[in-house]
């Protein structure tokens, strides 16, 4: 067996660095992809936008039964339909809306927020934020702002 030269040691060292860098790039690339996918899934959870749109459409159309059914269980328990509806009947409701953002609330994976621009006749557009929770497999609007 011949003694190793400095050139041989450098070649082996360089090869190890290349393999190490390749492994590092693969690991970082995969973790970055997973992180991006998780953030995307948190913001694009199916049903969050649809539930917000269904609630706002019902309010705009003054379909209070549907709007009430889309409220969280706690909201419905605290205010029966008989007392909830007159509050909404007494106001000039919105005539349109546009969802501008869907996101999680803080680091939560169970509470989402939807931001919408609300239009009313003769008034400037206003921004409203809605909290949504998944209850029994369905997204529900919780403590919505008064529209």
For the chain, what are the domain ranges? 8-43, 44-142
Q: How far apart are CA 70 and CA 68, in angstroms?
A: 5
Identify the pLDDT of residue 104: 80
Helices (H) and strands (E) in the chain, counts: 5, 4
- What pLDDT band is residue 89 in, cutting at 50, 70 and 90? confident
CB 119 within 8 Å of CB 97: yes
- What pLDDT band is residue 28 in, cutting at 50, 70 and 90? low
Average pLDDT, the chain: 79
CATH number 3.40.190.290 is the correct assignment for the domain at 44-142: no
Which two tokens mark 66? 């549907």
Please, what is the Cα angle at 113 between 107 and 119, to 5 degrees?
155
Is the pLDDT at 56 greater than 90, yes or no?
yes
| Span between the terminal Cα atoms of the chain, in Å | 86
Whether pTM exceeds 0.85: no
């Amino acid at each position: 067996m011949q003694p190793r030269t400095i050139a041989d040691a450098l070649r082996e060292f360089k090869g190890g660095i290349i393999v190490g860098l390749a492994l590092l790039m693969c690991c970082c690339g995969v973790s970055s992809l997973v992180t991006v996918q998780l953030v995307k899934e948190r913001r694009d959870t199916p049903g969050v936008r649809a539930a917000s749109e269904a609630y706002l459409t019902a309010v705009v159309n003054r379909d209070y039964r549907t709007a009430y059914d889309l409220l969280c269980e706690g909201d419905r328990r605290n205010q029966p339909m008989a007392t909830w509806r007159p509050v909404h009947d007494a106001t000039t409701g919105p005539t349109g809306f546009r969802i501008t953002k869907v996101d999680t609330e803080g680091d939560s994976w169970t509470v989402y927020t939807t931001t919408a621009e609300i239009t009313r006749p003769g008034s400037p557009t206003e921004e409203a934020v809605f909290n949504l929770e998944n209850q029994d497999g369905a997204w529900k609007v919780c403590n919505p702002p008064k529209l």
